[in-house]
Chain A
Amino acid sequence: MDIKKLLTPLTAWGNITKDPVTIKDPLNERPGADRYRGFHRNDVEVCIGCGTCEEICENEAIDMVAIAETKDGDSGLRPMIDYGRCCWCALCVDVCTTNSLSMSNEYTWVTTDPEDFRFVPGVDKKDWDKGDKGWKKPENYEFYSIKRVHMEELSPEERNGSFIEMMKGYSKEQAEKEADRCVECGICTATCPAHMGIPEYIKAIRNDDLEEGLRILYDTNPLPEICGRICTHKCESVCSMGHKGDPISIRWLKRYIADQNPSEKYKKILEVENLQPKDKKVAIIGSGPSGLSAAHYLALMGYQVKIFEKLEKAGGMMRYGIPEYRLPYDQIDKDINYILSLGVEIEYNVNIGTDISLEQLGKDYDAVFSGTGLQLGRSTGIEGSDNEHVYYSTDLLRKIAQGEEIEVAESIVVIGGGNVAMDITRSLARLQKEKYGKIQIITTSLEKEENMPADREEVVEAREEGCVINPGWAPKSIEIKDGIPTGLHVVKCNSLFDGEGRFNPQCDLDVKEFWPGTMIVQSIGQGMDISYITEEMREKLEFGPRGRVQTDEYFQTSLKWLFMGGDIIQGPDVIHGIANGHMAAVGIDRMLNPEK
């Protein structure tokens, strides 16, 4: 036996004089590390209740429970964590679309009631809510791309002097990449006036099943080519992806589906080849979005539908209010022709009220839907605004769409800061470029740059094209010389609303400017023309604020046979019109088919 090997292990006795290494009171002396994945925290003010945390949790430890009030962009739900199931992986934190969810470095919790271990972080107050240590999503680390796939567009030089569509559309790869970013929270669906199945059709793009995508679009929206280009995309403004990065290009993805499906296949894809006709007739006044939407869904139900249109082509403001470079006419035709192919009749150049009375329509048809829209321009009412060279944007846009010659001046001032103002500015700029080879146009709005109602990209693109956008000025008067305007006097506008939120612009009269222009365009909103409603009928109808006819949830007026929707009731935008038309079609069907 090796005596050395018998004795060497005994050197371990040397430890007997050393201090112990154990911590006597670990719970108090040893906090969790800075990144520790401890109990959850949630900033409920930032959280939008998208439910992505619930979706990614592999243990089903998270339930979304109703806590806050539901509003646009916030489901009102908040995650409730069940610590009987949670495995502390923190995937919920990493995937959180708003970064509201995090974890504390607390890891001890004693309670006598097991139910306590199911709690809603941020709502059920806990000791660890305050600290800032614990797991947070690392920087430069995402579970999805927060950057939008850029859609190619014509350069400002190419755009100028041309009404060719400026956005080129997505390729298959681009669309699928953009569709991949969606987390399917459905906040968009809740916000969309038509409640389109947005996550579902985005999923169809990911699966490269565009026929299924088209079916989903037509469930709620019969104008996808149009909406895919010019929708006000309220969905995107609430998109959960927008909190950390860019919202999903929902509008462009819708356009992608519609663009990729050829119109001749629509009837087969949408399975509408064998509609069962009914013997009831419905008249529709106006072929704008609400009228077309109502016609589409009524036709699907088998009703005999006839549209009465005042102008020579269908589409209403979509055709006569939106410039071709944003919404090409062939795309409008694609959507409308499909609706007409379902057996919907249309009569052009008929003015209800003068050619046929509304009462007569009510007698000839089982129900009437009116969606006549807002076509009248609104005047600023300032000095000189009654001059013949002072125009309304609605009139000019209609004339451009109709191909009429416009007397485009060399220098123009546009009053207005909304999308229509941008449309007329950019349309006139194109015409100026064509006629004079240069652009000289100034557009102003009461609102400051950050509060301009127009879409941001519209303002940016208008500037790229050479227009001057000068927000934050109030029009004072139009200077007229020899019956022709010479320019617009403006003063600095400091604020628009008073303390109580009423419209009450405050201007600094000392800061003033004069912008020369021999053509002044007013684009400060539109008014409705419902002169086709006779006095006799007016007595039977109920009117609400701003002269709007009151309707029920199905857009039925107090005259049972008359339904009204679109911009004259709710708006102004295309998607509200579509939603109204759809709902009215359901209402008409309920009225005409009560036993169903």
Chain B
Amino acid sequence: MEKSKLFTLNEDRSLYPEHDENGKPIVDLSSHKFLKIWQGPQHPGVTGNMSLELTVSGDEIVESKTHVGYLHRGFEKLMERRKYIQCFPTCIRMCVAEPDPNEYVLSNAIEELSGIEVPEMAKWLRTLVLEMARLQVLLRGVPGQAGTFALGLGYQWGNYLRDLILDSFEELTGGRVYHMYILPGGVRGLLPDGFKKRMEDKLKLIDEFMIKIDKLIFQNVVFESRARGLGYIPKEWVDVYGVYGPAARAAGVMRDVRKTNPYLKYSELDFEPYTTTDSDVFARTEVRYNDLKMTVDLIRQIMAKMPEKGDIKAETPNVMHWKIPKGETYSKCESSRGEYGMYMVSDGSDKPRRVNLKGPSYTHANALLDRLLINANIADTAAIMVSLATCPPEIER
């Protein structure tokens, strides 16, 4: 006896829209074959507000359009009205989850334009803080990928460990989330006594966590079956769509500023970013899992190699009326999401003429996501979005 099917899969592909000569689907809503639904602006898995306008047929997405504008605070414009030193507490808000690359690219741009050489000790501390920032993001980001498939357990573990790293940030910088530590000319403090020991204890916990996460997520048939083949980014798209960081490395393209354009102390550290070629959600999660492992290793290397004492700040002009020589520069670093850069133009006054932040989310969450979501299942939207490490505040500066 044939069992009655609860759900039937309609094999009639004529339900799906035809495409015009530009490749855009021809969607006639009045035909009742399609439905428009909005995902967002609040939804799980994204730090910040962003909305996806999905056109679906059944549970399959036929068209997606990213809408931003829910948290536009005009930081780039605000900075044009602020002294350079005042930009420093402003810029961090451009990516809340990982504020330190903001601090670094801003400070580095100012230093480059005014020809200031940062002391060695400060360079080591900056490298350490940038890796700690990556660590705290990935501790949540890697298990968070499974969270998009409703496996929230790893996320809870990761969040606990992230809190321990935030404790370290608090010890070192005085702040848990907004660290405001890397400032033009150097950094704001040496390591507190016993910092390295406490950090090492936390890294050991993270080592154990990595094994548990591997079992929970990568040795998980549900995760594997849902993530494999999902959100595939062909290698050719990497340049066309501006794909950076882990997403590019999952597609077999080596993109890591730490390796391709070493800054701070990265040239003195021994590491090899992980690459693979599957280029789906599973591969991207795998790359970020390996990034997390590498970050733990890098923090150990940095703590072993960095000097105990030294100058933390170069002598700078008086910050109250610090005029930066006329010029422009692009300063970049590798954030957990990929290349993170700031273009700064100075007209020779004490305020920047233009600041433009370029983070990977801008291309990832707009053009690329629109393209990737076509033919995806509604239930997989969050997984694809999170695998691209979308950070909406970074899109709306």
Chain A residues at the B interface, C-beta cutoff of 8 Å: 1-2, 4-6, 8-9, 11-12, 21-22, 32-37, 52, 55-56, 58-59, 87-91, 94-95, 103, 135, 138, 140-145, 180-184, 203, 206
B173: Cβ under 8 A from any A Cβ: yes
Give 1 or 0 for each of B274-310: 1 = CB within 8 Å of chain A CB: 0000000000000000000000000000000000000
Closest residue of B by beta carbon distance from A52: B320
> Is the pair B321, A8 in contact by a Cβ cutoff of 8 Å?
no
Closest residue of B by beta carbon distance from A185: B320
Chain A contacts for B172, CB-based, 8 A: 35
B42: Cβ under 8 A from any A Cβ: no
Shortest distance from the beta carbon of B106 to any chain A beta carbon, whole Å = 13
Closest residue of B by beta carbon distance from A144: B318
Say which residue of B174, B178, B220, B319 sits within 8 Å of A144 (CB atoms): B319
- State the CA gap A106–B312 with chains docked (Å): 26
B227: Cβ under 8 A from any A Cβ: no
Nearest 6 A-B pairs (CB), nearest first?
A58-B86, A89-B89, A144-B318, A8-B219, A5-B221, A35-B174
Chain B residues at the A interface, C-beta cutoff of 8 Å: 82-83, 85-90, 151, 153, 160, 167, 170-175, 178, 180, 186, 188-190, 192, 212, 215-217, 219-222, 224, 311-313, 315-321
With A35-B172, A89-B178, A90-B180 already in contact, 14 other A-B pairs whose C-beta atoms are closer than 8 Å: A33-B171, A33-B192, A37-B174, A56-B85, A56-B319, A58-B90, A90-B174, A91-B89, A135-B174, A138-B188, A140-B311, A142-B313, A143-B316, A180-B321
Shortest distance from the beta carbon of A559 to any chain B beta carbon, whole Å = 49
Residue of B87, B212, B321 ringed by the most chain A CB atoms within 10 A:
B321
- State the CA gap A203–B224 with chains docked (Å): 66
> Is the pair A89, B88 in contact by a Cβ cutoff of 8 Å?
yes
Shortest distance from the beta carbon of B301 to any chain A beta carbon, whole Å = 25
Say which residue of B174, B220, B221, B320 sits within 8 Å of A56 (CB atoms): B320
Shortest distance from the beta carbon of B248 to any chain A beta carbon, whole Å = 28
Closest residue of A by beta carbon distance from B221: A5
Closest residue of A by beta carbon distance from B320: A183
- With A5-B224, A90-B180, A91-B85: A144-B320 Cβ-Cβ less than 8 Å: yes
> Is the pair B171, A35 in contact by a Cβ cutoff of 8 Å?
yes
- With A9-B219, A35-B174, A58-B86: A143-B180 Cβ-Cβ less than 8 Å: no
> Is the pair B320, A184 in contact by a Cβ cutoff of 8 Å?
yes
Shortest distance from the beta carbon of A500 to any chain B beta carbon, whole Å = 45
> Is the pair B216, A9 in contact by a Cβ cutoff of 8 Å?
yes
Chain B contacts for A91, CB-based, 8 A: 85-86, 88-89
- State the CA gap A328–B295 with chains docked (Å): 68
Closest residue of A by beta carbon distance from B193: A34
Chain B contacts for A21, CB-based, 8 A: 160
> Is the pair B319, A12 in contact by a Cβ cutoff of 8 Å?
no
> Is the pair B319, A95 in contact by a Cβ cutoff of 8 Å?
yes
Say which residue of B90, B167, B216, B312 sits within 8 Å of A138 (CB atoms): B312
- State the CA gap A91–B181 with chains docked (Å): 11
Shortest distance from the beta carbon of B206 to any chain A beta carbon, whole Å = 14
- State the CA gap A4–B218 with chains docked (Å): 12
> Is the pair B170, A36 in contact by a Cβ cutoff of 8 Å?
yes
- State the CA gap A529–B311 with chains docked (Å): 61
Closest residue of B by beta carbon distance from A1: B221
> Is the pair B215, A56 in contact by a Cβ cutoff of 8 Å?
no
> Is the pair A89, B180 in contact by a Cβ cutoff of 8 Å?
yes
Closest residue of B by beta carbon distance from A4: B219
Chain A contacts for B311, CB-based, 8 A: 140
Chain A contacts for B221, CB-based, 8 A: 1-2, 5-6
